[in-house]
Amino acid sequence: MFWSTDSSIAEVMAFTLGRRLVLSLLLVLVVLVLSFSLLFLAVWTTSSAVVVVAVAAPRVRITVVYYTALHPVKWRDLVAVQLQTLVKCGLAAAADSVEVLFSSLVDDDAGRKQLAEAAQLAKLLLGDVATLRVATHPGNHYEYPGIRRAFDLAAEGELRGESEDEQRRHLVLYHHGKGMFSTKGDQTKGGALLTVTPVVVEGWRGIVQRFANDSAMNKAGYITSPAGFHWYNFWWARASYLRLLEPPQVHDEDRFYYERWLGGLYNPTTGQVQNAGATDALSLCAGNRGRVLNYACPNTKIRWRC
């Protein structure tokens, strides 16, 4: 009886020890499974992060070019409104650089003083929020200084060794002091500011996205002409497209040359310029690429035909 009791106790102890061993082994197994699970999750997360970086959209570079010839007297309000618009809509801060160019009607002391005042105003309005470059040009050559700067931006990128892809991702906005020499009422209430600016300038985020989504699109403006330029000369274009155009020339006898310039592809071998057409151009007022519209007569009630 005594032996039997000791035997039972031994069996119970053995059973208890065996169960504890099994539980310990199970616990170790659970710990190992959890450890491998966490390790796998860490590796998967790291791999996913690498993949996200690899497929992230390439960065778009934006340069804003604003040009205007200055009225001898009433120029401050229009310039201030147009430059403040760049700040208010966030474009000045988002752009890699903002290029502001002014010209005077005459090359004399009064003209140079006016240019210095305009440059100071631009620095005051944009200097704290944008990478700013201001240039002044005494004497009037219509829009030549601004158009020339837009063209040179593409040429400079090529000289720096930018790839074709980098040039395609470099978007240039060109706009100017439309209405500066208007003799009717307040310059800041003109049609270009009230209609074209909100679409072409303030709507910049959507335009940049359209360029990213449509690889065949090279330019965008309020209204596209059949020749491939944009009426009112407010437009966006890829730098890769701008370098295919004719190097801008001074045409004091034909100020509309600077509007037509965007639609002229240049052949450096022959020196000939041919219409680029509108298949790669977006009419922003119509919302689709390749659609051309007529420039409505300013005397009609439907001034903005879109």
pLDDT band at 41 (very low <50, low <70, confident <90, very high): very low
Phi and psi torsions of 21, nearest 5°: -65, -40
Q: Is the pTM of this model over 0.85?
A: no
Predicted confidence (pLDDT) at residue 19 exceeds the cutoff of 80 = no
pLDDT tens-digit series, residues 249-287: 999 999 999 999 999 999 888 989 998 888 999 988 876
pLDDT band at 38 (very low <50, low <70, confident <90, very high): low
Instruction: Give the per-residue pLDDT at 166.
Output: 93
The percent of residues above 90 in pLDDT, for the chain, comes to 55
pLDDT band at 182 (very low <50, low <70, confident <90, very high): confident
Instruction: Give the per-residue pLDDT at 280.
Output: 93
Instruction: Give the per-residue pLDDT at 18.
Output: 56
Instruction: Give the per-residue pLDDT at 195.
Output: 83
Q: What angle do CA 117, 120, 124 make, to 5 degrees?
A: 140
Phi and psi torsions of 67, nearest 5°: -135, 145
Helix axis angle, 109-126 to 76-88, nearest 10°: 20
Predicted confidence (pLDDT) at residue 11 exceeds the cutoff of 60 = no
User: Among 156-160, 233-237, 239-243, which is the least confidently predicted range?
Assistant: 156-160
pLDDT tens-digit series, residues 162-177: 899 999 999 999 999 9
Report whether 217 contacts 265 (CB < 8 A): no
Report whether 124 contacts 87 (CB < 8 A): no
Tokens of 135: 């240039």
d(CA 117, CA 260): 31
Question: Which of 152, 150, 156, 159 is closest to 236 using CA atoms?
Answer: 150
Neighbours of 51 (CB within 10 A): 10
What's the mean per-residue pLDDT of the chain?
A: 81
Instruction: Give the per-residue pLDDT at 155.
Output: 85
Report whether 295 contacts 306 (CB < 8 A): no
pLDDT band at 28 (very low <50, low <70, confident <90, very high): low
pLDDT tens-digit series, residues 87-141: 999 999 999 999 999 999 999 999 999 999 999 999 999 999 889 999 999 999 9
